[in-house]
């Protein structure tokens, strides 16, 4: 469920649909980014899923 919620949230930010796998990845990445910030570490994130297969559920 969190993956679809994250996909919808991301769509509201970038105005492009992304799939559930991107939502799951984003959820994990944000948790990791929080830990990295707590340790004063940097990093980057790529989102590679177009979400075209999930157009009917988003």
d(CA 55, CA 8): 11
- Two tokens at 29? 């990445």
pTM above 0.75, yes or no: no
Spacing of C-alpha 40 from chain mean position: 22
Kindly report the average pLDDT of the chain as a whole number: 81
Contacts 24+ apart (CB under 8 A), 42-45: none
pLDDT digits (tens, 9 = 90+) for 19-30: 888 888 889 888
Query: Does residue 50 carry a pLDDT above 80?
Result: no
Domain tally, the chain: 1
- Number of CB atoms found within 10 A of residue 19's CB: 22
Q: What is the pLDDT of residue 26?
A: 86
If pLDDT is split at 50, 70 and 90, which confidence band does 47 have? low
């Amino acid at each position: 469920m969190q993956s679809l919620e994250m996909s919808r949230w991301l769509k509201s930010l970038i105005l492009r649909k992304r799939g559930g796998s991107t939502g799951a990845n984003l959820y994990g990445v944000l948790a990791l980014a929080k830990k990295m910030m707590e340790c004063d570490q940097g990093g980057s994130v790529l989102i590679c899923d177009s979400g075209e297969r999930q157009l009917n559920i988003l």
